[in-house]
Structure 1
């Protein structure tokens, strides 16, 4: 599962995860980043590595 802690996430102003994810799992919807294609996640952990606020949790 891929979860975003919205208390920590800076949303579209950051969007590092959106840009870094090779599988395009994340999308910007309005004023927040959402996990749009969780089934496509390959657990590469790039999103976790690039997130400056540690807002993303990935669990297989």
Structure 2
């Protein structure tokens, strides 16, 4: 899976819905950003996209 975050839309740690919702713990907070830390663990479930209030997260095959 390819996981991307649009940082123009992402609210970062003040939101972090994707970090909290991801069952595979793909995301983590580093400094003032949410980052894709373990893309290889992504199962493609799409929960991160569902919970992101700004549509900043995308998961593609």
Give me the TM-score of the superposition, normalised by structure 1.
0.99
**In the TM superposition, what is the alpha-carbon distance from 1:28 to its structure 2 partner?**
0.1
Say how many residue pairs are matched: 60
Distance 1:56 1:13 in 2: 15
Q: Where in structure 1 do 4 or more consecutive aligned residues deviate above 4 Å?
A: none
Aligned position for 1:17: 18
RMSD between superposed Cα atoms in Å? 0.2
